Chain A
Amino acid sequence: MSGHNPGGSGWFRYADPTDTDSAAAVINEETAEQPQDWPAEAVRAGVVDGEDDYYHALHEVTLQATRAAVRERETSTEQQLHHSIAAMDDAERTANELAERVVEWAGSLAGDDREPPADGIDGVRTVAAWTPETPAEERVVSLAERTVDLDAERAALRSFVESHAPTVAPNLAEMAGPVLAARLLSLAGGLESLAKKPAGTVQVLGAEDALFAHLEGRGPSPKHGVIFTHEYVRGTRPDDRGSAARALAGKLAIAARIDHYGGAFRQSIHDDLDDRMATIRDREDEV
Chain B
Amino acid sequence: MKLGRIVIWLAVAAAGALALATIALRRHEPISAMWLVVAAVCSYALGYRFYSKFVAAKVLALDAMRATPAERLENGRDFVRTNKYVVFGHHFAAIAGPGPLVGPVLAAQFGYLPGTLWIIVGAVFGGCVQDFVILLFSVRRDGKSLGQMARDEIGKTAGTVAFISVLSILVILLAVVALIIVNALKDSPWGAFTIGMTIPIALLMGVYLRYLRPGRVLEASVLGFLLVVAAIFGGQWISQSTHAGAFTFAGTTLAILIIVYGFAASALPVWLLLAPRDYLSTFVKLGTIAILALGILLVRPTLQMPALTRFIDGSGPVFAGNLFPFAFITIACGAISGFHSLISSGTTPKMIAREPQTRMVGYGAMMCESFVGIMAMIAACTLQPGTYLAVNSGAGMVGGNPAAAVATISNWGFPVTADQMAAMAQNVGEKTLFFRTGGAPAFALGMAKIFSDSLGGTAVMAIWYHFAIMFEALFILTVLDAGTRVARFMLQDALGHIWKPMGRTSWYPSIVVTSALMVAAWGFFLWQGVRDPLGGINSLWPIFGICNQLLAAVALCVATTIIVKMGRARYIWVTLAPLTWLVSVTFAASWHKVFDPNPLIGLLAHARQLAAGPAIAGLQRRIFNDQLDAAVCGLLVVLVSVIVIESALQWITVISGRRQAATQESPFVPTAYAEEAL
Do these two chains interact?
no
Q: Give the interface of A toward B (CB within 8 A).
A: none
User: Chain B residues in contact with chain A, CB under 8 A?
Assistant: none
